């Protein structure tokens, strides 16, 4: 064996270790990356065919509490009692920036199709129920209603002069 053989073997071992280390780092980074939704363009363009109403929100709230709150939390913050069991964590639906970045069609698609660990609701809920849930998801990030404060100071009552007594006529 020549003197260059042990050096060559050492270099190959170091290269193998470097490649193995790079592969391990890549796998860890890929596992930590939040999976992205691949939503078709036609789904993104869909508009909610329902009109918002208190009745639609009430119906959606019942469905949400039964099907979604255990992960997304009662107020959509992603803090439900089962949230920590999943990776990735459930989305914070109350995050206005997140909510505003999605079209109604995208929210409808996500509810309908699901993505692990979130189940698909296409077969479990009607189309109308899924569109109602879109209203509810939007409501989680809605700005708070303004307080009932008067917009202008009340105007003062018009000044009135008290009636004067008439003096009786002189005899």
pLDDT at res. 17:
80
Cα of 110 vs its chain's centroid, Å? 11
pLDDT at res. 37:
87
Contact (Cβ atoms closer than 8 angstroms) between residue 45 and residue 103:
yes
Q: How far apart are CA 132 and CA 18, in angstroms?
A: 53
Helix (H, G, I), strand (E, B) or coil at 92: coil
**Per-residue pLDDT tens digits of the chain, which is 171 residues long:** 556 677 788 888 888 887 777 777 776 665 555 668 899 999 999 999 999 999 999 999 999 999 999 999 999 999 999 999 998 899 999 999 999 999 999 999 999 999 999 999 999 999 999 999 999 999 999 877 666 645 444 444 444 444 444 545 554
Q: How far apart are CA 93 and CA 127, in angstroms?
A: 20
Domains and CATH numbers, the chain: 41-140 (1.10.760.10)
Q: How far apart are CA 27 and CA 64, in angstroms?
A: 35
pLDDT at res. 19:
79
Q: Dihedral, CA atoms, 86, 88, 94, 96, nearest 10 degrees?
A: 180
pLDDT at res. 77:
96
pLDDT at res. 25:
77
């Amino acid at each position: 064996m020549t003197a260059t053989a042990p050096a060559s073997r050492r270099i190959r071992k170091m290269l193998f270790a470097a490649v193995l280390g790079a592969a391990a780092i890549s796998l860890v980074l890929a596992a930590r990356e939040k999976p992205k939704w691949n939503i078709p363009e036609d789904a993104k363009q869909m508009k909610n065919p329902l009109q918002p109403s208190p009745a639609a929100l009430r119906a959606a709230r019942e469905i949400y509490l039964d099907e979604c709150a255990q992960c997304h939390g009662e107020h959509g913050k992603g803090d439900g009692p089962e949230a920590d069991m999943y990776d990735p964590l459930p989305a914070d639906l109350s995050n206005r920036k997140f909510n505003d970045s999605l079209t109604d069609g995208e929210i409808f698609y996500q509810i309908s199709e699901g993505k692990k660990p979130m189940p698909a609701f296409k077969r479990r809920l009607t189309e109308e129920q899924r569109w109602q849930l879109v209203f509810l998801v939007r409501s989680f990030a809605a700005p708070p209603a303004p307080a009932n404060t008067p917009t202008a100071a009340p105007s003062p009552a018009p000044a009135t002069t008290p009636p004067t007594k008439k003096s009786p006529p002189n005899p």
